[in-house]
């Protein structure tokens, strides 16, 4: 930060109008720079996918809830990253605290990996039910590992007698480190790689020592299978970090200048709230667990009104409860950032699974007519950039901006370069009011300059009833029309000046255009890369509403449009048809609660090419 | 009207002639005048209903939000800028019915704000249906055989939740109501002032006369620091007691937030420290 001193980063007095004005301009420019950098980062990622080295390994660990799969995933992902590999860790789990059968898939490779594939190289089974669930993903060359005490009659399985081995080192709580040790041996790595990762996970010296001892037991037990599923470590890229999508959203919020978050816990949105709670002290953020989602969004609106930069994080059911608040946001022309983390519905649905079926509530919820924007990041980098940008968009357009993620993106661990931060800290476009201030009097650009109580000599009045330019209730029909027009005119800003552009993967001259949004990005990009069908490109829409001209232009240039989305009815396809008049010739849907895999998209694409 | 009036001039007031709201508006204005509150540092937050229109008639900042949702917005406004004096003002249906959950949790949170509730025991704006505080048996256009629900007792609920300030006033007793309001605004923490008022159009039972006959001040020796005694008085419903039932000094919500440890500035004066954020990214990853 260039102006990091408290003196410079503060609005010093009520009359310092110019400073406040400057702050937002720098912010806006800066966000544009950040987008360019993010765009460049994505291109680099794609370039990496093109790299020759195809060595990779897919490892699945399955077990019951409470057995610590997340811990194993974190330890191994960190070990892979520290060993110079790129890594992706995808979790699928049941909505329960103990029992059931969950799994985590780790894909590690010498080139960037950002998508899930089906085939398993190494499969560690910590519970009996897992084999049945995973059999479809296993082939003849898959190495299955299980405790003979659980899999008594199973043939062709590498025995890992966990119960027996852990009995001497303190019991089942050390199973995870033991399993990690065994896997480390199977991939042909020295134990030191694992020990470094364990040091990061276990900060307590005693616990660390015990877990390192357990890891050694596992590693030594694997002596006869050493390197059976080998992937060599490679040159370590310094400074790489390991984050999941929730962390990327939370960090993006901080970068966007978030100072207030109020939310009600609901999977899979909760982690964003949790991460911001951890950052509350360091970054001076007010974090409040509201009594319900209705309270959460009304708190958020109260905070923006008083000069905060607020966000709420929720999932479908909670967002439904926020609908009236969203409409209030439109009525009082408040900025608002809403993180909507999708999971399958309707009702409680599949609380811990993934889906892209809340686009239409994001687009249409809230009574009455008012502008909004919806951003759907497809990678952790985009999750960071979109969230930061959402604050600028909301602030400048005085409208709600919804960041639409899903369980798959949020709970997946990625290795990445540290995010590029803006050069200047963003601030709100607020003015110090004068005595004659009228909150809803249009400014030169049609947008009413936003004042806050306590800054300036004017009165700041906002009302959910239709109001005049002073904010007072009116039923004057002419005023009504001018207020509706003024509110709706802000959509242009969201569609044009502040819009995030889509990304095109593949040739600029295409006949067939696959269109997706949100978390399907990496899967489709990799499938396209594998199959390389002629004249076929993939358009990944990051800002899905309002639909920008860039998207419309691409759609109009395509001979054939295929829309892929993780839902049953094709919500984005419907939106595109309505907004652009395009014809969608095919829709690829998936709605079993899991994300698309690369193999599935390759197969869909192959069928399409062969037609 | 005196020179330093907080009343907005020239507005078309939407209340029925004789409405108790006029009395409350007058009392609020006189209280603010006596306290000489800085009008540019005072925000009135309201929901929807006839009482919720009060801020329209005051020359103060206002946030006139959704039905039942004044308290979450008011809490956040105070937390976002602690220099502001925040008053959340609405009716009994708004605060105790639609906003009941927020009422409960706002008391638990204890933000430093004053919660004025116009309690006329009936719904006005929607034309005469029962409110949460309507007495048992009240016949309305909707409760045609009379109300069968027990009336909500806001003072008893507040005391049970250990509210830091709980009082009941009657609009007909202007002097006492002003004194209570003043104490409530001065009090640091959540302060409930439930003000009884008649609805001259829809509530033919709880009239000015009825309130005169069925209310009585708390005894002179009432100890408002004694929670059990306060609760006992709150449970008495005929006559209804008037005065400050309970006052309990305790830490306020916003002062305990991490954001204010070592930094007292309101949120609008802050910017993210990007060096610190770069370090956060590194540590988290």
Q: What is the pLDDT of residues B178-236, one digit of tens each?
A: 999 999 999 999 999 999 999 999 999 999 999 999 999 999 999 999 999 999 999 99
Instruction: Please tell me the predicted confidence (pLDDT) of residue A364.
Output: 98
Q: Which residues contact B77 (CB under 8 A, 6 or more apart)?
A: A302, A303, A305, A306, A453, B43, B45, B63, B84, B86
pLDDT in tens, B83-132: 999 999 999 999 999 999 999 999 999 999 999 999 999 998 899 999 99
In a domain, B220, yes or no: yes
Instruction: Please tell me the predicted confidence (pLDDT) of residue A40.
Output: 53
Q: Which residue of A has its CA nearest to B62?
A: A461
CB contact residues (below 8 A), chain A span 408-447, against chain B? 416, 418-419, 421-428, 430
Side by side, which strands form the sheet with B240-247? Answer: A461-463, B61-64, B42-46, B85-91, B114-119, B191-196, B165-170, B240-247, B215-217
Q: Are A300 and A314 in contact (CB under 8 A)?
A: no
Expressed in angstroms, the distance from the first to the final Cα of chain A is 55
Q: For the domain bounded by A56-225, which CATH number is listed?
A: 3.40.920.10
- Cβ contact A295–B282 (<8 Å): no
Tell me the CA distances in angstroms from B90 to A288, B24, B282, one per residue in order. Answer: 24, 11, 48
Measured in degrees and rounded to the nearest 5, phi and psi for residue A336 equal -165, 140
In a domain, B178, yes or no: yes
Whether B82 and chain A come into contact, CB under 8 Å, resolves to no
- Domain span holding position B62: 20-284
Tally of helices (H runs) and strands (E runs) in chain A: 21, 23
When pLDDT is averaged across residues A80-102 and rounded to a whole number, the result is: 91
Q: Are A537 and A510 in contact (CB under 8 A)?
A: yes
Q: Which residue of A has its CA nearest to B267?
A: A308
Integer Cα distance of A514 and A558 in angstroms: 9
Domain A56-225 matches domain A503-610 at the CATH topology level: no
Instruction: Please tell me the predicted confidence (pLDDT) of residue A190.
Output: 96
- Cβ contact B72–A427 (<8 Å): no
Whether B169 and chain A come into contact, CB under 8 Å, resolves to no
CB contact residues (below 8 A), chain A span 311-340, against chain B? 324-325, 328, 332
pLDDT in tens, A290-322: 999 999 999 999 999 999 999 999 999 999 999
Whether A9 and chain B come into contact, CB under 8 Å, resolves to yes
CB-side exposure of A32: number of CA atoms within 13 Å?
Answer: 9
In a domain, B82, yes or no: yes
Instruction: Please tell me the predicted confidence (pLDDT) of residue B12.
Output: 87
Second CATH level (architecture) for the domain A503-610? 3-Layer(aba) Sandwich (3.40)
List the beta bridge partners of residue A467: A473
Q: Are B120 and B197 in contact (CB under 8 A)?
A: yes
Integer Cα distance of A243 and A503 in angstroms: 23
pLDDT at A18 over 70: no
Expressed in angstroms, the distance from the first to the final Cα of chain B is 64
A350 to chain B, closest Cα gap in Å: 27
In a domain, B3, yes or no: no
The CATH number corresponding to A11-50+243-500 among 3.40.50.720, 3.40.50.11540, 3.30.70.141, 3.40.50.970 equals: 3.40.50.970
CATH code where residue B208 lies: 3.40.50.970
Q: At B4, is the pLDDT very low, low, confident or very high (cuts 50, 70, 90)?
A: confident
Q: Report the domain count for chain B.
A: 1
Name the residue ranges covered by the structural domains of chain A.
11-50+243-500, 56-225, 503-610
Report chain A's C-alpha Rg in angstroms. Answer: 26
pLDDT in tens, A21-42: 333 333 344 445 544 554 554 4
In a domain, B9, yes or no: no
In a domain, B226, yes or no: yes
Integer Cα distance of A236 and B11 in angstroms: 71
In a domain, B258, yes or no: yes
Measured in degrees and rounded to the nearest 5, phi and psi for residue A295 equal -65, -40
In a domain, B58, yes or no: yes
Q: What is the ipTM of this complex?
A: 0.98
pLDDT at A13 over 80: no
Tell me the CA distances in angstroms from B26 to A199, B19, B153, one per residue in order. Answer: 68, 12, 26
Instruction: Please tell me the predicted confidence (pLDDT) of residue B11.
Output: 85
Integer Cα distance of A42 and A314 in angstroms: 27
């Amino acid at each position: 930060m260039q102006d990091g001193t408290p003196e410079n980063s503060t609005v010093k007095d009520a009359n310092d109008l110019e400073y406040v004005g400057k702050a937002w301009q720098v912010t806006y420019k800066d966000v544009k720079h950040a987008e360019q950098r993010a765009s460049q980062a994505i291109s680099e990622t794609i370039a990496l996918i093109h790299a020759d080295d195809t060595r990779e390994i897919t490892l699945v660990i399955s077990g019951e809830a409470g057995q610590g799969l997340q811990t194993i995933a974190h330890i191994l992902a960190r070990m892979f990253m520290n060993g110079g590999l790129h890594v992706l860790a995808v979790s699928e789990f049941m909505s329960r605290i103990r029992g059931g059968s969950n799994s985590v898939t780790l894909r590690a490779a010498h080139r960037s990996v950002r998508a899930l594939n089906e085939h398993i190289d190494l499969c560690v089974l910590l519970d009996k039910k897992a084999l049945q669930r995973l059999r479809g993903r296993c082939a003849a060359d898959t190495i299955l590992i299980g405790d003979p005490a659980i899999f008594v009659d199973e043939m062709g399985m590498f025995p890992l007698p966990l119960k027996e081995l852990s009995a001497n080192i303190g019991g089942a709580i050390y199973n995870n480190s033991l399993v990690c040790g065994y896997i480390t041996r199977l991939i042909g790595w020295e134990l030191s790689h694992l020990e470094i990762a364990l040091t990061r996970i276990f900060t307590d010296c005693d616990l660390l020592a015990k877990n390192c001892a357990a890891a050694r037991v596992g590693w030594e037990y694997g002596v006869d299978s050493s390197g059976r599923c080998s992937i060599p470590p490679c040159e370590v890229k310094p400074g790489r970090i390991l984050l999941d999508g929730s962390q990327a959203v939370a960090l993006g919020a901080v970068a966007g200048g978030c100072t207030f978050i109020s939310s009600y816990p609901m999977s899979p949105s909760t982690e964003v709230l949790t991460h911001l709670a951890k950052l509350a002290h360091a970054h001076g953020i007010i974090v409040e667990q509201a009594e319900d989602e209705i309270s959460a969004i009304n708190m958020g609106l109260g905070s923006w009104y008083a000069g905060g930069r607020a966000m709420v994080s929720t999932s479908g059911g909670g967002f439904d409860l926020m609908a009236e608040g969203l409409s209030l946001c439109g009525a009082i022309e408040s900025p608002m950032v809403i993180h909507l983390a999708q999971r399958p519905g309707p009702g409680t649905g599949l609380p811990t699974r993934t889906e892209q079926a809340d686009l239409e509530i994001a687009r249409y919820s809230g009574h009455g007519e008012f502008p909004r924007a919806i951003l759907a990041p497809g990678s952790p980098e985009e999750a960071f950039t979109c969230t930061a940008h959402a604050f600028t968009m909301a602030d400048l357009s005085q409208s709600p901006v919804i960041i639409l993620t899903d369980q798959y993106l949020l709970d997946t661990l990625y290795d990445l370069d540290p995010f590029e931060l803006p050069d200047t800290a963003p601030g709100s476009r607020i003015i110090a009011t004068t005595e004659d201030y009228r909150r809803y009097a249009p400014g030169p650009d049609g947008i009413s300059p936003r004042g806050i109580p306590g800054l300036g000599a004017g009165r700041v009045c906002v009302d959910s009833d239709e109001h005049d330019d002073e904010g007072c209730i009116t039923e004057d029909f002419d005023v009504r029309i001018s207020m509706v027009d003024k509110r709706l005119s802000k959509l242009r800003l969201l569609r044009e000046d502040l819009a995030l552009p889509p990304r095109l993967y593949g040739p600029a001259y295409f006949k067939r255009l696959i269109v997706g949004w949100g978390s399907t990005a990496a899967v489709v990009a990799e499938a396209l890369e594998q199959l390389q069908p002629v004249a076929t490109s993939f358009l990944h829409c990051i800002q899905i509403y309002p639909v920008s001209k860039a998207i419309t232009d691409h759609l109009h240039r395509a001979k054939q449009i295929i829309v892929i989305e993780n839902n049953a009815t094709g919500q984005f396809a419907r939106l595109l048809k309505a907004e652009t008049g395009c014809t969608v010739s095919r829709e690829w849907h998936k709605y079993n609660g899991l994300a698309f895999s690369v193999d599935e998209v390759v197969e869909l694409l192959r069928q399409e090419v062969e037609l | 009207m005196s020179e330093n009036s907080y009343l907005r001039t020239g507005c078309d007031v939407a209340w029925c002639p004789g409405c108790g709201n006029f009395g409350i508006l007058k009392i609020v204005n006189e209280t603010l005048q006596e306290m000489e509150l800085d009008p540019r540092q005072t925000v009135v937050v309201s929901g929807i209903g006839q009482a919720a229109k009060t801020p329209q008639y005051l020359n103060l900042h206002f946030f006139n939000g959704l039905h039942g949702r004044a308290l979450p917005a008011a809490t956040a406004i105070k937390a976002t800028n602690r220099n502001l004096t925040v008053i959340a003002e609405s009716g009994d249906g708004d605060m105790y019915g639609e906003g009941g959950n927020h009422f409960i949790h706002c008391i638990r949170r204890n933000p430093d704000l004053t919660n004025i509730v116009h309690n006329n025991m009936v719904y006005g704006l929607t034309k005469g249906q029962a409110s949460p505080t309507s007495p048992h048996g009240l016949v309305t256009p909707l409760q045609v055989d009379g109300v069968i629900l027990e009336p909500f007792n806001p003072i008893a609920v507040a005391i049970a939740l250990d509210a830091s300030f709980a009082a009941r006033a009657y609009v007909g007793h202007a002097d006492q109501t002003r004194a209570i309001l003043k104490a409530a605004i001065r009090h640091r923490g959540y302060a409930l002032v439930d003000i009884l008022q008649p609805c001259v159009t829809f509530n033919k039972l709880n009239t000015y006369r009825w309130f005169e006959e069925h209310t009585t001040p708390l005894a002179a020796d009432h100890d408002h620091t004694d929670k059990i005694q306060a609760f006992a008085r709150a449970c008495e419903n005929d006559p209804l007691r008037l005065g400050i039932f309970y006052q309990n000094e305790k830490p306020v919500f916003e002062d305990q937030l991490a954001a204010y440890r070592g930094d007292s500035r309101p949120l609008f004066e802050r910017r993210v420290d990007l060096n610190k954020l770069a370090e956060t990214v590194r540590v988290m990853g």
